[in-house]
Amino acid sequence: MSDSRMYLNEGSFKVLIVEDAKIIANALKRDIEKKLGLEVELASTMIEAVNLLEERPDRFFLGLLDLNLPDAQHGEIVDFVIGKDIPVIVFTALFEEEIRTQMLNKKVIDYVLKDSPSTISYLTSLVHRIKNNIHTKTLVVDDSKSSRKHLVDLLRLQRLQVFEAESGVEALALLDKYPDISLVVTDYHMETMDGLELTHNIRKKYSHEDLAIIGVSSYGNNVISAKFIKHGANDFLNKPFLAEEFSCRVSQNLTIVETIRKLADFSIRDALTELHNRRYLMDTGKQLFASATRKQINLGVCLVDIDHFKAVNDTYGHEAGDIVLKYISTILKNNFRKTDIVSRFGGEEFCILWVNMTIERAKENLELLRAKIAAEKIKFGNTTISVTASFGVTLQLEDTLEIMIAKADKKLYEAKNGGRNRVEINYAGQK
């Protein structure tokens, strides 16, 4: 069983803050907008919030609500916003266990106290987590239908996409089908394959960098907890547990996985253009080249160089040069296929590895791309900058990838000497 529902439309990343203390509301709005780049709308009364939501509630993916408003002093705003199918985080200056329990029973995401300056930072990080959760896949594994439903409900409350499995075998099949699952929550006691064995099998294929695993068990003790960790789990919880504790553990583990993924991504991408870097190109290129030598694919190399780029830097400054590089990078990324490797090779030079490209299509596509770059007007302040690019291509398989890149570079040199803003292609039969 699975659930891959989305909780909002693309582009609807707006946050609603309902708070009558303007200092707090404005500070929270600034922090969210500055750190997360999200749009925030403020309301200081119940009626203002009603007017905003009656107009078009689907603009908001999250509501941050104070309980005590001038025209609604008993938390009425919470029921209203939840009734519009908008997830809610409650933040209040007053802590009462009865009210906290009441709010959590309404299925709010969290109940946060406004008791320190760090509250703003915590709320902003929570908003960021919920926004990321909308596109994050998780898997719950439990052979008890009621226990599984409880875990699924808690994860959906955090706006996560949730898949369900009632056995370890079904869980492994779902992981094969959805390899981008980021978190697995598995019970310990299950027939055929228990949680420890499932964890062990998952770790044969997926590292800690790929996904997090949280073990849970009503038979929990220190021995089972240690066994889960030794088998490859990231975390363990004894049943029964507080919903807030489960929420915090899930958030922490997902954040760790995302941070590791970002660090790994930074190591293979160029910081300025966000294209793949030379290291990634060569590492991946060797794998593609090996496939080409086994005649599984046809491989081509395309080098692109921005003409007279030094003149751009000398005339307009290096900031303008960076803007041009990013602009051209975007054009290249948008005009090559997802199966192609587009990278910044160095300076103003780019390298693309082409898979299964014919000479006819290469000529046609590159001529269109060359003309597109030449026609672009790149805005820089009050002026516009125009540049052209030269292309050197080889579609001839050589003894090594390095020789293929050298052949493409030779063709790029010919394009430069031929007047620039040209495409030169080396193909089978040429020296």
Beta bridge partners of 344: 350
Query: b/e per residue, 393-423, with b = 16+ CB within 10 A?
Result: bbbbbbeebeebbebbbebbeebbeeeebbb
The values of phi and psi at residue 394, to 5°, are -130, 135
Nearest alpha carbon to residue 394 among 374, 372, 409 = 409
- Integer CA distances (angstroms), 102 to 15, 74, 90, in order: 23, 12, 11
Cα separation of 54 and 60, whole Å? Answer: 12
Cα separation of 186 and 155, whole Å? Answer: 13
Parallel, antiparallel or unpaired: strands 299-306 and 212-217 = unpaired
R_g (Cα) of the chain, nearest Å:
27
Spot the catalytic one: 19, 164, 348, 349.
Answer: 348
**Active site annotation includes 97:** no
Rounded to 5°, the CA angle 244-250-253 comes to 140
Chain centroid offset of residue 192 CA:
35
Cα separation of 350 and 391, whole Å? Answer: 10
Parallel, antiparallel or unpaired: strands 60-65 and 2-3 = unpaired
Burial class (CB in 10 A: 0-12, 13-18, 19+), 243: middle
Cα separation of 286 and 289, whole Å? Answer: 5
Nearest alpha carbon to residue 425 among 376, 382, 381, 366 = 366
Cα separation of 81 and 138, whole Å? Answer: 26
User: Which tokens hold the place of 68?
Assistant: 């005590």
Nearest alpha carbon to residue 79 among 43, 111, 46, 56 = 46
Specify whether the CB–CB gap between 211 and 182 falls below 8 A. yes
Which residues are tagged catalytic?
Answer: 348
